[in-house]
Amino acid sequence: MVIGIPKERKVQEYRVALTPQAVGVLVQHGHKVLVEKSAGLGSGITDQEFKNAGARIARNEKELFKKSKLIVKVKEPIAEEYSLIKENHIIFSYLHIAADKKLVQALKKSKCRAIAFETVELPDGSLPLLAPMSRIAGRLSVQVGVHFLQKSKGGKGVLLSGAAGVRNGKVTVIGGGTVGYNAVLSALGLGADVTVIDIKQGVLEYYYDRFEGKVRTLPSYPEVIEKELKDSDLVVGAVLVTGAKAPKVITKKMISNMEKGSLFVDVAIDQGGCSETSRPTNHDSPVYKVNDVLHYCVTNMPSLVSKTSTYSLSNVILPYVLQVADGKIDEAPSILKGINIDNGDLLINLN
């Protein structure tokens, strides 16, 4: 199969889907790999490195799509790429179609097969291709928080670790999945006072045991969320419903009760966001204010650490790319679950 790896078009998206090492494995299995010119530069990978691994370099994206059957991307196709997608294509990338009706229509119209990394699901319910970027986004959420809580950046001027005679910063994480867990690790490491809110009792018990009571655990009721947000310096939205829109667990009223200069980082923004006040932003203009509360809602956070993210993503998706390229999709139930759109039909519930 001819596999195409395009250069990402999203604003400040520096990742590339596969590394030269992964390309080498695909070539060894008898596949041809096309990489668009300069696709890896944002992650410190040159065209020559891809060529040394056995890939051919496509002059532009149009050539790459024309000559390839399997398109492996990081982020969902943007509007300027829609016309390049044809019926013979298999698109394998993060898609997050629940938050993008125009993308849904474009993929249906093309009659391609669109497989989303984020809905590939193992028998135990885990999401192996979403996990690596969720870990990175969770850790970045606190790193971003440290930056934007600075007074010069519009924040309230709070140090999460606190200081002698001064309270520690308070971090509230809503959602105890992979993103939430990694946000907690980072926040605790900085010395913050951390609370986790989740709808599942089993998750709360895990956090209580894992962190020996050092992390406060609370059930996800509206009145609980409202009270915790009011006292928080940094709130991380880490709510996930596989393949569907994120539930709006935070209301405008809750945001309005937060202290001026507090920060809300919505990692769930790829799936529409978990607050009524959330709207997508990008790295060129990452934050905005609602009732004097900063909102960071960048839809491709891991691009901030593109080299780490590229290698982490490539390592985990390679076995699945091989299965798709080898024509073994029907033998892989986890990949079948990842098919969002096929031959014009929407195959997952977006609500």
For strands 293-296 and 113-116, give the pairing.
unpaired
Phi, psi of 266 (to 5 degrees): -100, 95
Please give the Cα distance from 161 to 146 (Å, whole number). 10
Phi, psi of 164 (to 5 degrees): -55, 125
Describe the strand order of the beta sheet including 170-174 as a list of residue ranges: 216-219, 193-198, 170-174, 234-237, 263-266, 293-296, 287-290
Annotated active-site positions, please? 96, 270
- Contact between 262 and 156 (Cβ < 8 Å): yes
Please give the Cα distance from 142 to 188 (Å, whole number). 10
Classify residue 257 by its DSSP letter: T
Give how far Cα 226 sits from Cα of 220, 254, 272, Å. 10, 5, 20
- Contact between 149 and 174 (Cβ < 8 Å): no
Structure tokens at 16: 């590339």
Please give the Cα distance from 181 to 209 (Å, whole number). 13
> Which runs of consecutive H residues, i.e. helices, occur in 97-148?
101-110, 131-148
Farthest CA pair distance, the chain: 65
